[in-house]
């Protein structure tokens, strides 16, 4: 029962594949189907006309030949030639329709993958499931759609041809049909079995394939080229890659070897069956039960059925393989986001009055029990500059993800002007923020587009690009580029210009400034800037951010001195709150961190004094 279910399981995928074929291009679906039917019809017509031609010629050579039969023979020759030409034209146009339709299907599935990839939650991207599922979906979604169209059309054509040919065979002798089935069915079952075995093996080895792909990327990417050479990692990585590929090759060859043995056996059975059928018909012809035309027709059908039988086995096996891989594609497309818009979203306030508040917020990542934030209370008021400081791993970036509603809290709530943010539409709420993350993106695009991507709704020629570039300090070096703002910041596709890390950070800052948002979030915004550029940025910071509310995360405590409120985060908890002067007066964790950083900027004769110039005890370690 399980084997039968497995055999017919591809039919279940057709329920989703066929609508995709229709939705991708109705015109090519109709053209492809019509041309396929013409190809089948003309192909059968050629076989039948050849049989009739042989019978007419045979009758002409017999003692009962009639006058004028030469004209009949020539008429059959001409008609057979015309139908053969029509068959060739229909076959060529049918192949064109299959390829064109396949390209439309590939584009349609690409759009579906991109829609699903943009729609799913960030949590999916931050899990190992993402790498396995999306990689499989991409493998299914690039070449598979074209193959699916071709396989389905060819499979349908061959089934129709076999059905018609089977009817012709029955008219010759009913005993021939079982022999042909014996020739086809074992090969089909063997191919399906090994396709399933190969699919299961590939499923188990997905991570190994990804790991070998990662090692290949390490050895060939320019990103790693410097360290690879300086640390002499080439031979080590090549050995690791070689071991993985050797194991994968050995396992794959073992499956292929077993499949080859079985296919040789069933191929021998098919040959015996075909020649047994031919021997039976030759005997019946010699005994006068069938005409010479029948024998010629069978010889033609024999060759055609042998070819179609092999193609049918391959196409059914490919359909089964397509079913398995497209199942993975559908698994990805069926992913539903956990963060959804409410049924009746509240409109955003025209202007913020209270701002954003964290009220007893705790959070842990899906699949992880350890809380990265615990009972956090924090407020960002309109026009207020808030700073968040803490060691690596204290939960600062996680707090930003919650603030922008990339995740929802495990406990507690976040409010906007007193209302839970889950009552607002996702896109509307996220539009309140402009963010520069630590791992900001380097787009392979022009300088103008790299900035404009901060607010893609701005027109291409918007003067705001130059305005925010000036605010971030990026304008001077962008204007000095060969094509100014139209210079590609990459050498991947065009003759562009590569930037330094510090220059890229200024471009990313300009991108964050681009959107006219209510709150701007800067996660380590000056980590790659030199002290002079950092001083310039924060010297008139409120004017640069156009007096918006801001949340700044930085390890450089000198950059957060001007903040209205500073929150000290330690192990996921808020330990201290206040402005710089108040926190220094408390002489707590913030004071110790600030004193340790300031220590390296003091003159040797000033050692032992705090940043305010007062003598202090050595900070606790």
CATH of domain 351-432+517-585: 3.40.50.300
**pLDDT above 70 covers what percent of the chain?**
82
Contact 609/602 with Cβ under 8 angstroms? yes
* The token pair that represents 404 in the structure block: 């922008």
How confident is residue 69, by pLDDT bands cut at 50, 70 and 90? low
**Domain edges within the chain:** 15-172, 174-289, 351-432+517-585, 443-509
- Is the pTM higher than 0.75? no
Secondary structure, 3-state, 58-81: HHHHCCCCCCCHHHHHHHHHHHHH
- The angle subtended at Cα 343 by Cα 337 and Cα 347, nearest 5°, is 105
567 pLDDT above the threshold of 90: yes
Q: Give the model confidence (pLDDT) of 483-539 as tens digits.
A: 899 998 887 766 778 888 889 989 999 999 998 899 999 888 877 777 777 777 787
Calculate mean pLDDT across residues 614-620. 43
How confident is residue 65, by pLDDT bands cut at 50, 70 and 90? low
| Predicted local confidence at residue 230, as pLDDT | 67
How confident is residue 617, by pLDDT bands cut at 50, 70 and 90? very low
**Angle 292-333/144-172 helices, nearest 10 degrees?**
150
Contacts of 437 (CB under 8 A, 6+ apart): 397, 400, 523
Is residue 380 within a helix (H) or strand (E), and if so which, with residue range? strand 373-380
| Predicted local confidence at residue 601, as pLDDT | 59
Q: Give the model confidence (pLDDT) of 369-428 as tens digits.
A: 889 999 999 999 999 999 999 888 888 889 999 999 989 999 999 999 999 999 999 989
244 pLDDT above the threshold of 60: yes
How confident is residue 608, by pLDDT bands cut at 50, 70 and 90? very low
């Amino acid at each position: 029962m399980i084997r039968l279910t497995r055999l017919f399981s591809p039919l279940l995928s057709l329920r989703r594949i066929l609508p995709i074929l229709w939705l991708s291009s109705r015109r090519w679906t109709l053209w492809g189907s019509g041309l396929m039917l013409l190809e089948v019809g003309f192909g059968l017509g050629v076989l039948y006309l050849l049989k009739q031609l042989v019978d007419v010629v045979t009758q002409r050579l017999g003692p009962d030949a009639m006058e004028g039969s030469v004209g009949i023979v020539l008429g059959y020759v001409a008609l057979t030639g015309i139908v053969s030409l029509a068959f060739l034209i229909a076959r060529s146009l049918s192949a064109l329709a299959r390829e064109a339709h396949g390209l439309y299907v590939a584009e349609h599935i690409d759009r579906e993958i991109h829609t699903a990839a943009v729609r799913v939650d960030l949590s999916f991207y931050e899990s190992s499931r993402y790498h396995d599922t999306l990689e499989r979906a991409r493998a299914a979604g690039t070449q598979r759609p074209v193959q699916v169209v071709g396989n389905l059309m060819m499979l349908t054509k061959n089934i129709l041809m076999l059905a018609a040919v089977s009817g012709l065979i029955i008219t010759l002798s009913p005993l021939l049909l079982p022999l042909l089935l014996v020739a086809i069915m074992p090969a089909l079952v063997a191919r399906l079995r090994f396709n399933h075995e190969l699919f299961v093996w590939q499923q188990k080895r997905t991570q190994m394939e990804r790991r070998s792909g990662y090692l290949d990327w390490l050895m060939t990417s320019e990103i790693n080229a410097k360290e690879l050479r300086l640390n002499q990692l080439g031979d080590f990585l090549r050995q690791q890659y070689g071991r993985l590929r050797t194991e994968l090759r050995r396992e794959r060859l073992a499956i292929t070897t077993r499949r080859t043995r079985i296919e040789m056996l069933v191929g021998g059975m098919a040959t015996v069956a075909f020649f047994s059928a031919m021997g039976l018909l030759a005997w019946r012809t010699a005994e006068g039960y069938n005409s010479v035309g029948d024998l010629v027709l069978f010889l033609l059908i024999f060759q055609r059925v042998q070819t179609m039988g092999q193609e049918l086995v391959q196409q059914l096996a490919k359909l089964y393989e397509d079913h398995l891989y497209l199942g993975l594609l559908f698994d990805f497309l069926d992913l539903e986001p956990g963060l959804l818009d409410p049924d009746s979203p509240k409109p955003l306030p025209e202007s913020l009055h209270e701002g954003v508040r964290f009220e007893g917020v705790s959070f842990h990542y899906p699949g992880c029990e350890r809380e990265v934030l615990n009972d956090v209370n924090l407020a960002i008021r309109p026009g207020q500059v808030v700073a968040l400081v803490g060691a690596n791993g204290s939960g600062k970036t996680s707090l930003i993800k919650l603030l922008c509603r990339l995740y929802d809290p495990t406990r507690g709530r976040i409010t906007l002007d007193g209302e839970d943010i889950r009552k607002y539409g996702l896109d509307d709420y996220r539009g309140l923020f402009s963010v520069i993350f630590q791992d900001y993106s380097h787009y392979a695009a022009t300088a103008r587009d790299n900035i404009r991507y901060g607010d893609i709704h701005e027109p291409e020629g918007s003067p705001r690009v130059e305005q925010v570039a000036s605010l971030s300090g990026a304008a001077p070096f962008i204007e000095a580029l060969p094509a100014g703002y139209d210079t590609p910041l990459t050498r991947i596709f065009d003759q562009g210009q590569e930037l330094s890390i510090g220059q890229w950070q200024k471009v990313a800052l300009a991108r964050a400034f681009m959107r006219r948002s209510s709150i701007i979030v800067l996660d380590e915004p000056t980590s790659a800037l030199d002290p002079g550029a950092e001083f310039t940025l924060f010297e008139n910071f409120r004017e640069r951010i156009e007096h918006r509310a801001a949340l700044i995360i930085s390890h450089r405590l000198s950059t957060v001195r001007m903040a209205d409120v500073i929150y000290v985060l330690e192990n996921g908890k808020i330990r201290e709150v206040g402005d710089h002067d108040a926190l220094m007066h408390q002489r707590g964790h913030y004071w110790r961190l600030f004193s340790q950083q300031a220590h390296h900027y003091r003159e040797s004769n000033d050692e032992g004094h705090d940043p305010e110039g007062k003598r202090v005890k050595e900070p606790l370690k």
